[in-house]
Amino acid sequence: MKRVGIITSGGDAPGTNACIRTIARRCFLDGVTPVGIFDAWDGLLAGEVRDITRADVSGIVQTAGTLLRSSRSRLFLNPGDPQIAVAALRKHAIEGLVVIGGNGSQTAAHLLAQAGFPVIGVPKTIDNDLEGTEFTIGFLTAAEMVTHALDNLRATAYSHNRVMVVEVMGRSVGWIAVEAAIAGGADLALIPEFAFSLDEICAKLKTRHEVHKRNYSIAVIAEGALDAQGLLDPQSTGADKLGRRKLGGVGENLAREIETRLGYDARCTTLGYLQRSAAPCAVDRILATRVSDRAYDLLQEGQSGLLAGLQGTKVVPVRLADIVGKTKKVTADYYRLAQVFG
């Protein structure tokens, strides 16, 4: 294979540039041309495609974002779309493709592979919700960023006798919330996977403040977490171009409920896109490098329809057919660990 395409799609995640760099560097070593598809699937259709140069991938292992830019696309929602994408790839003489992305992107990769185009996936999303890999690229950096935020917010929470609510990303899973809650010593971790009641939360806070005589608390809530009665639901959120509801606001509502129900001073800090834009931590850079290196090998070996996933200490090929459409959720046992310290 002499022309290898690289595409990044979905939300950006720290470590993505380390992936692009690895694939490009492997190409250069083999006398293969790495071809960059800019602005994801819509960019492919618009012809935003050009060869990647050595200069493009120089000095980017440590940077956040994606050199190739990214977006969410409606391509692949209709039955004829994979053929449209294949035709666009062939137009640029691309012989095989590495798709760097999360659930939506890997679904697209699977459809392309089914349409007969050689594709290998690289797992990238801060949400860590992709099956077939223990960690996705970007997740550990995001969790680290939230942990540092919790460390800092603790000072203000203590100084002002406050309940600090921290809203983090996590549309349908709470990996970031749980990981950071454990590492940052949060008192509450509220996530989409496990229902909670406001009565229960308030009772926990009351015990902490009135029985254990603590003057502050820290509660981490994932943006997609809702109490069992739906009282925290912000309601008035628009939709993105895929029709997915834009999230945000559940943390503010939680802080307000705590103030109303308990009379404690409560404030919300929403960390938002800061979780995606941090420089990748060393572990993410290394994970990105390892899985991308393997993805390149798999493609050159003539394989397709696979994801290069981390399982234990090894990078292994995982069939996309076995993982697409699934969501890797926080397990009860892992969630329990975040609650032990509450």
> Which residues have C-beta within 8 Å of that of residue 48, sequence separation ≥ 6?
37, 38, 39
Which residue is nearest to ligand F6P, using beta carbons? 11
Question: Rule CB under 6 A: is residue 69 a binding residue for ligand F6P?
Answer: no
Question: Rule CB under 6 A: is residue 174 a binding residue for ligand F6P?
Answer: no
The 107-136 contact track toward ligand F6P, x by CB under 6 A, reads ------------------xxx---------
Strands annotated E in the chain: 3-8, 33-37, 49-51, 96-101, 119-123, 162-168, 188-190, 217-222, 265-270, 306-311, 314-319
Q: In angstroms, what is the minimal distance from the CB of 265 to ligand F6P? A: 29
Residue among 174 and 305 whose Cβ is closer to ligand F6P: 174
Active site residue 127: yes
Angstrom distance (rounded) from CA 33 to CA 126: 29
Angstrom distance (rounded) from CA 134 to CA 305: 19
Residue among 252 and 293 whose Cβ is closer to ligand F6P: 252
Q: What share of the chain is helix, strand, coil (3-state, %, to 5)?
A: 40, 20, 40
What totals of helices (H) and strands (E) does the chain contain, helices first? 12, 11
Question: Rule CB under 6 A: is residue 247 a binding residue for ligand F6P?
Answer: yes
Task: Single out the segment in contact with ligand F6P by CB under 6 A; choices: 15-23, 51-59, 81-89, 166-174.
Answer: 166-174
The 4-43 contact track toward ligand F6P, x by CB under 6 A, reads ------xx--------------------------------
Question: Rule CB under 6 A: is residue 257 a binding residue for ligand F6P?
Answer: no
**Token digits for 71?**
């977006």
Residues forming contacts to ligand F6P in the complex (CB under 6 A) are 10-11, 72, 125-127, 169-171, 240, 247
